[in-house]
Structure 1
Amino acid sequence: MKYDQIPSKLFTKNRKNFMAKMKPKSVAVFNSNDIYPISADSTMPFQQARDIFYLTGADQEETILVLFPDAPNKEHCEMLFVRETNDHIAVWEGEKLTKEKATEVSGIKSVFWLKEFDKIFFEVMTQAERVYFNTNEHYRQSVETETREDRFIKTTKDKFPAHSWERSNPILQRLRSVKDKIEIDLIQTACNITEKGFKRILNFVKPGVWEYEIEAEFMHEFLRNRSRGFAYTPIVGSGNNANVLHYVVNNQQCKKGDLILLDVGAEYANYSSDMTRTIPVGGKFSKRQREVYDAVKRVKDDATKMLVPGNYWKEYHEEVGKLMTKELLGLKLLDKADVKNEDPNWPAYKKYFMHGTSHHMGLDTHDYGILWEKMTEDMVFTVEPGIYIPAEGFGVRLEDDVVIQKKGEPFNLMRNIPIEAEEIEELMNK
């Protein structure tokens, strides 16, 4: 891995918190991701399943975590199963986790080779009454591929039909949504790398440059700062491309007078950053572009102040909608009749701002978090309002990542990334 090793005390704490929520005489199992094939002998780059990483720090394929707090054999309370390594694997694939290294990374003392799993798991299941399965219940999930976790659930239900089943996800949703200081520091590192990428392209962008060249400049800076690359598929949308919310082809030439919407974030140690900036290709905003930019910035600043403990996600978005409606009236994109006659299920402002303002962020860019429960201290949210005007050929979105504080306004992890229009123009024209 490119990143520095994360202190194992984080994963020890995470497991302790998870096991404290388990019912008596229960066992919980977590599987690594598969390595997915492309064709012939080609595969996609491996990325670890975030839940097992959250609980172990083991960033390797063919890994299984078993938690059994009430195990009669205390060696079975926490078990990590890893792929057995040897000299041949070391030559062809590089270093893999030894038992000793797996303990160092995860803090788990009982480490076994994967070939021992079936025998030990059968013994554990004769002593347990229920199994916690790890299903993907994120509100945005739309996964059709059968995962290693899915196959394990099917097999286990066939082998042990008399056991009771429980769900790990509700526990993880609550635990993962509140970040440890170590996690916040890792997200800050990802944001710092994103900052370096953004400052790099401010000196690079000029009329005639291609969107994919800007993407390449970001990737160069990310890789040279120990990131694996983008935390999500980057959006580099110039001109009207900014009005396509998930524009990712990044294959058009940037023209003088256009704006470029950059929705780009680096990952670090599997943790995400998520930044959006909108900049002028020629280094100067037009009067109209600046009016819209400033309106979006005001909404972002006021929305940020509402991310405090005790608030609810739904009500927060309703209040942001009111802020945006006011700005759109000021820009003469809406009039009073539009607002008076609006559909409550699709307010008038949605014509120009059709997505949400904030989502949880962490190990996943759209991270875990139960939306109908109160916001709490140490949750990390994005703040990303936008105004999209296809008729005028441009769109503006601005986005920072912030940490909810016990008191006062959230802490901005992207505080050092230029966002003021004057600063962006100054840096682009140096």
Structure 2
Amino acid sequence: MKYEPIPNSLFIKNRKKFMDRMLPKSIAVFNSNDVYPIGADSTLPFEQHRDIFYLSGADQEETIVLLFPDAMNQKHKEVLFVRETNEHIAVWEGEKLTKKRATEVSGIETVYWLSDFDAIFFDLMTEAETIYFNTNEHYRQAVETQTREDRFIIACKQRFPAHKVAKSNPILQEIRGIKEPEEIKLMQTACNITEKGFRRLLGFIKPGVWEYEIEAELLHEFVRNRSKGFAYTPIIASGNNANVLHYVENNRQCAAGDLILMDVAAEYANYSSDLSRTVPVSGKFTKRQKEVYNAVLRVKNEATQLLVPGTLWAEYHKECGKLMTSELLGLGLLDKADVQNENPDRPAYKKYFMHGTSHHIGLNTHDYGELKKPMKANMVFTVEPGIYIPEEKMGVRIEDDVVIRESGAPFNLMANIPIEVEEIEELMHG
């Protein structure tokens, strides 16, 4: 792994939080992701399932975590299964976790080879009454591929039809949504790497540069700072491309006078950052561009102040809509009649700002976290309003990542990344 070692105390705490919420005589099992084939002998780069990483720090394929707080044998309360390594694997694929190293990484004392899983799991299931399955219930999930977790669930139900079934996801939504100090530190590192990439760009962007060249500059800076690369598919959208919310082709030449919207950020140690900035290709905003930009920035700043303990996510977005409506009126994009006659299910502001303002961020860019309960301290959210005006071939989005605190304003993990018009212009001309 490129990232520095993470203290296993984080994973020990995470497992305790999960196990404290388990039913009596219950087992929870978490599987790593598959290595996905492309064709021939090619595969996609491996990405660890974030839940198993959260609970163990084990960052390799063919890995299983088993939690059984009421196990009769003390050593089986926490078990990690890893792929057996040997000299041949080491030569062809590189170093894999040994049992000793697996314990050092995870803090789990009992480590078995994966080949021992079936026999040990059967023995432990004779002591258990309930099995926790880790299904994907994220509100944005749209998974069509059968996962390693899916196959395990099918096989387990066939093999143990008399056991009760429980869901891991509600527990994970609760505990993963509230970050430990170590996690916030890792996310700050991801944000700091993102800052380096963005500052690099301000001296690079000019008329004639291609969007993919900007992407390449970022990737260079991210990887040289111990990141695997982008936390999500980068959006580098100049001119009218900014009005396509998930524009990822990045294949247009940047033209003088255009704005360029960049939704790009680094990961670090599997933790995401999520940044949006919009800058002028020529290095200076026009009067109209500046008006729209500052309107978005005001909404971002005011919305950030609403992220405090006790805030409800749905109500927060309604308030953000009111903030945006006011700015759109000021810009002449809406008039009072538009607002008075709006459909409550499709408010007038949605014509120019059609996405949400905030989402949880952490091990996933759109992270786990409870959305129907009041916000709590140490939740981390994006704040990302935007105004999109196809008729003016302009789109502006500005986004930072912030930590909710017990009292006072949220802590901005991206506070050092240039955001004001004057600073951006000065750095682009520097």
Alpha-carbon separation, structure 2, partners of 1:296 and 1:174: 31
Alpha-carbon separation, structure 2, partners of 1:273 and 1:426: 25
Aligned residue number for residue 175 of structure 2: 175
1:193 aligns with 2:201: no
Matches within 5 A, 1:225-244: 225-244=225-244
Q: Give the paired residue count.
A: 430
Where do 4+ consecutive residues of structure 1 move more than 4 Å?
A: none
Aligned residue number for residue 85 of structure 1: 85
Alpha-carbon separation, structure 1, partners of 2:320 and 2:119: 55
Alpha-carbon separation, structure 1, partners of 2:93 and 2:176: 32
Equivalent position SS for 2:80: strand
Map Cα deviations across residues 9-39 of structure 1 (whole Å, 9 max, x no partner). Answer: 0000000110000000000000000000000
Alpha-carbon separation, structure 1, partners of 2:393 and 2:245: 14
Matches within 5 A, 1:30-429: 30-429=30-429
The one-letter amino acid paired with 2:129 is E
The one-letter amino acid paired with 2:298 is R
Alpha-carbon separation, structure 1, partners of 2:341 and 2:302: 26
The one-letter amino acid paired with 1:117 is F
Shift of 1:207: 0.3
Alpha-carbon separation, structure 2, partners of 1:345 and 1:7: 47
The one-letter amino acid paired with 2:259 is L
The one-letter amino acid paired with 1:15 is R
Alpha-carbon separation, structure 2, partners of 1:160 and 1:320: 49
Alpha-carbon separation, structure 2, partners of 1:16 and 1:418: 39
Alpha-carbon separation, structure 2, partners of 1:65 and 1:395: 45
Alpha-carbon separation, structure 2, partners of 1:215 and 1:428: 17
Equivalent position SS for 1:81: strand
Shift of 1:370: 1.5
Equivalent position SS for 2:355: coil
Equivalent position SS for 1:145: coil
Equivalent position SS for 1:289: helix
The one-letter amino acid paired with 1:303 is A
Shift of 1:75: 1.1
Alpha-carbon separation, structure 1, partners of 2:38 and 2:403: 38
The one-letter amino acid paired with 2:194 is T
Q: Which runs of 5+ in 2 are unaligned?
A: none
Alpha-carbon separation, structure 1, partners of 2:303 and 2:135: 33
The one-letter amino acid paired with 1:19 is M
The one-letter amino acid paired with 1:149 is E
Shift of 1:237: 0.1
Q: Which runs of 5+ in 1 are unaligned?
A: none
Equivalent position SS for 1:127: coil
Alpha-carbon separation, structure 2, partners of 1:323 and 1:117: 55
Shift of 1:369: 1.1
Shift of 1:240: 0.3
Equivalent position SS for 2:126: helix
Map Cα deviations across residues 75-113 of structure 1 (whole Å, 9 max, x no partner). Answer: 110000000000000000000000000000000000000
The one-letter amino acid paired with 2:174 is R
Shift of 1:249: 0.3
Alpha-carbon separation, structure 2, partners of 1:366 and 1:101: 31
Shift of 1:142: 0.3
Equivalent position SS for 2:62: coil
Map Cα deviations across residues 118-156 of structure 1 (whole Å, 9 max, x no partner). Answer: 000000001100100000000000000000000000000
Map Cα deviations across residues 256-301 of structure 1 (whole Å, 9 max, x no partner). Answer: 0000000001000000000000000000000000000000000000
TM-score (norm 2): 1.00
Equivalent position SS for 1:307: coil
TM-score (norm 1): 1.00
